[in-house]
Structure 1
Amino acid sequence: MSDTDSFIDEVTEEVRRDRLFLMLKRWGWVGGAAVVLIVGGAAFREYSKAQDRAAAEALGDAITAALETEGGADQAAALAAVSADSSGGAAILKMLEAGALAEAGKTGEAVAQLEAVAINGELPLIYRHIASFKALTLQAGTLSLADRRLQYEALAQPGAPLALLASEQLALLDIEEGNSEAAIGRLRGIAADASVSPDLKDRATQVIVALGGSLEDAAAPEG
């Protein structure tokens, strides 16, 4: 390589360095800002998580203290005084308050609390179905069998959170109507379901036997 070529290469490299320096001087703040945003975002997420944990712990402590109150009416009042920052926390409070009201004999108020949760479309389905289920159990002596069946059937749809528990209630309604065959068929379906809990399976098989069915039939799907 000639001295001229070498000189040209050096000059070219120097120009490149100068251009890079100018670009960094002009746009380097963008990279710095990006770093600040990334670090700041991570710090904010950690702060938010810590705040959420603190709020959840505070709510849990307040609920525990309220549940230690003696007497259903006083316990319901203590729970009503607790505030929750999230819709889920508020729903749990309402359901707990409903339980205390029911214990105090205030069934109508308890059902009203549960139905308020059940119709809240902003809540996850599991919250709404639990509230509906509890409201139905409290109205066993006041709602007609047809009304209870209609509402339990809505909760027993395949894939619903409380489908098997609702199916168990439908079987009990079958028994109430004197239709043991329908009840046994429904209970066999519950016992054979892959997601059935041990307690629910035990209850289903016990009722099947009490109705004259067999454990063998309950242990395997029909067909």
Structure 2
Amino acid sequence: MLLSSGYEEANQGGSRVSETDSFIQEVTEEVRRDRLFALFRRYGWIAILAVLLIVGGAAWNEYRKSENRAEAQATGDALLEALDRDDAAARAEALGAFDAPSEEAQIVVDLLAAGEALEAGRAEAATETLGAVASTSGEAPEIYREIAAFKAVLAAGTRLPPEERRVRMEALASSGGPLALLAEEQLALVDVEEGRTEAALTRLQGIVDAANVSPGLRRRASQLIVALGGELGSGTGQ
């Protein structure tokens, strides 16, 4: 009996402890919920604002992408329409009036306009356009300005005195850019024009021996060496 009574008392005591633990756990959870709700009431607007900013930012980004695609398509269509004119003069006029949406795009349009003007026999207009592009300052790639400067000298031709052509081409040749060897070729032609045959041959041989020379430029330089009575060096790659 004593054992049975002690067992029952132990069970009742364990039950009371269990009930106490459950009560404490429920109170703790309730306190946590109250704290969570209090924090949400106090700072919930921050989370809502963050969600709105994320959703709004994504929507704006998609809108801008759509706008850019539409703008690029409209520019391309207008450019193709200008280039679809019947003759070079009309194409040059249409391109000259073209209003590109960015500085870089405008430079490309101006280069195209200058090319059409040259084809139409309007060398002075082409030279003026190319000169304006060459002197442009901004964030557009430097190669565009170098191309314009190179083409401006070619468009001007003999209207520019040899010394002026030399100065401009030496600036391009010394830059080490993609047009350096082409500028060297033009300098060799200036040497020939001024009667400096040996200087021209040395310059042309340097072009032929250059590691990054294109096949077409190497061929032209080699032919000019032979035409000037020179001999091709061992490093011609021929």
> Could you state the TM-score of these two structures normalised by the residue count of structure 1?
0.81
Distance 2:44 2:62 in 1: 28
The number of aligned residues is: 220
Partner SS for 2:45: helix
Secondary structure at the counterpart of residue 137 of structure 2: coil
Tell me the C-alpha RMSD between the 2 structures.
2.8
Instruction: Calculate percent identity across the aligned residue pairs.
Output: 50
Taking a change above 3 Å as real, the CA distance of residues 27 and 210 of structure 1, as seen in their structure-2 partners, is farther
Q: Decide which of 95, 98, 109 is 1:82's aligned counterpart.
A: 98
CA displacement, residues 100-148 of structure 1 (integer Å, 9 cap, x when unaligned): 2223332222211111111110132122111111111011111111111
After TM superposition, the runs of 4+ consecutive aligned structure 1 residues lying more than 4 A away are 1-10
Paired with 1:152 and 1:97, the residues of 2 have a C-alpha distance of: 23
Matching residue within 134, 145, 153 for 1:118: 134
Which of 198, 204, 212 in structure 2 is aligned with 1:187?
204
What residue number does 2:181 align with? 164
Structure 1, unaligned runs of 5 or more: none
The counterpart of 1:30, out of the listed 42, 46, 50, is 46
CA contact (8 A) 2:134 2:145 kept: yes
Contact in 1 for aligned 2:208/2:235 (Cα 8 Å): no
Q: Does 1:216 align with 2:234?
A: yes
Query: Which runs of 5 or more structure 2 residues have no equivalent in the other structure?
Result: 1-13
Structure 1 Cα separation of the partners of residues 29 and 221 of structure 2: 84
The one of 110, 113, 120 aligned to 1:104: 120
The separation in 2 between residues aligned to 1:12 and 1:157, in whole angstroms, is: 79
Cα separation, partners in 2 of 1:66 and 1:8, compared to 1, 3 Å: same
User: Bigger shift: 52-61 or 144-153?
Assistant: 52-61
Distance 1:67 1:213 in 2: 45
Q: TM-score normalised to the size of structure 2? A: 0.77
